[in-house]
Structure formats: C-alpha cells, structure tokens
Amino acid sequence: MKARIHVTLKNGVLDPQGKAIEHALSNMGFGGVDGARQGKYIELDLNETDKTKAEAAVDEMCRKLIANTVIENYSIELE
C-alpha cells in the first residue's frame, strides 16, 4: 500500500520558500502569480494491507516525525 502525504504550512505562518518562488517568477517576467506556498510531499511504501491500520500508523508517523503540527498541517491519501 502506498501513502501520499502532503505537509503544508498553516495559514499565517511565514513561508520564505514560497515568497522566494513568487519573487523569482515575478523577476523572470511571469505576471499574474498572486501567491505561492511551498510544502512537502512524501510517498511511503507500506507493507500493511489493512487500510484502517495503515491510516492510523501513517497518522502517528506524521504527528511524531513528518509534520511539525505547531506550524504545519498534513493530509494523507492511501492507495
């Protein structure tokens, strides 16, 4: 089973990477970009075949290691 995890900064948290992208695009002549936010995307290959157990395990991984829940949100998709 494969888990796809998106980790994004919470609203209001300063995002220097996103700002850098926004300014670079503007300097390169790409108009019409009102905002950019950068997050992380993680793919995990799991042995677990039970979806409920896999989801619980990945949720715990996110809370304990992958995401900093003080400033980041995460979402999990399993397939």
Closest approach, Cβ 79 to a second copy, in A, equals: 15
Which residues sit at the interface with a second copy, rule CB under 8 A?
6-8, 18, 21, 24-25, 28, 30-48, 57, 60-61, 64-66
The number of CA neighbours under 13 Å toward the Cβ of 3 is 27
Q: By C-beta, is 36 or 78 nearer to a second copy?
A: 36
DSSP state of 10: P
Closest approach, Cβ 58 to a second copy, in A, equals: 9
**Interatomic CA distance for residues 56 and 13, integer angstroms:** 27
**Interatomic CA distance for residues 7 and 44, integer angstroms:** 13
Closest approach, Cβ 70 to a second copy, in A, equals: 19
